[in-house]
Amino acid sequence: MSLNKKLFWGGLGWAFGGPIGAIFGYTIASLSDDKKNQWSRRSSSTKPADFIISILVLFAKVMKADGQLLKSELDYVKQFLKQQFGVQQARELMPVLKDILEQEYPLKDVCRQIQRSMDHPSRLQLVHVLFGLSAADGHVHPDEVSTISNYLNVNTNDFESIKAMFIENKESAYKILEISQKSSDSELKKGFRKMANKYHPDKVAHLGPEMQTLAEEKFKAVNDAYQKIKKERGI
């Protein structure tokens, strides 16, 4: 199924309205009346299409954060879209992204729309994806993602946990599990269970199988952090 049918005609939910909908005003204006009516039957719950659109809008902001568009970031986006949605859909999504890159829009308002309509696990997945883009040039730039994370109402502990998945140091395993280096073995196990539940791929099943597969990266990072600390402690 083509992107147009699967993504657009499949029905966007809440992303149709608000500032995100305005960003896609040109696309909306070009639709037939029948297609506009399909879009108007929107839902308050997050659908895969809403998540994809949110990714593209936030990708654009991160890519322009330092005032220049890097080839490494563009290559990352292309590869990301190919891996998650296939070559054909990636080919159709890239012109949409380039159109967004040419626009100026209020980041805070966009994030507020996402925050109101997207559940916590989905917002955590967005932050994880954005960190991947931030690391595309070989260096993680957390400031590029920090502002977006704050606007999405992602708390500091969750932000630091995801950031630690991309910045490896002696504290990263503990930060991933949201515990301190002084935590007891019992607290370590409790922290692992808590984070394994928080980042379980099933939490984002409603975003579609592609995003559920991507979410396994966070789940694996939690397990790897736990095994690393256990090895260090000789447990």
pTM of the model: 0.85
CA distance 179 to 52: 32
| pLDDT one digit per residue (tens) for the chain, 235 residues | 344 444 444 456 788 788 988 887 765 555 545 544 544 445 567 777 788 889 999 999 888 877 777 788 888 888 888 887 788 888 878 888 888 898 899 999 999 999 999 999 999 999 999 998 888 777 777 787 899 999 999 999 999 999 999 988 889 999 999 999 999 999 999 999 999 999 999 999 988 888 888 889 999 999 999 999 999 999 8
CB atoms within 10 A of CB 55: 22
CATH class for domain 169-235? mainly alpha
For the chain, the structural domain boundaries read 169-235
Q: DSSP secondary-structure letter at 207?
A: G
Alpha carbon separation from 188 to 59, 72, 127, 223, 229 (Å, rounded):
34, 37, 24, 12, 9
Give a three-class secondary structure readout of 120-189: HHHHHHHHHHHHHHHCCCCCCCHHHHHHHHHHCCCCHHHHHHHHHCCCCCCCHHHHHCCCCCCCCHHHHH
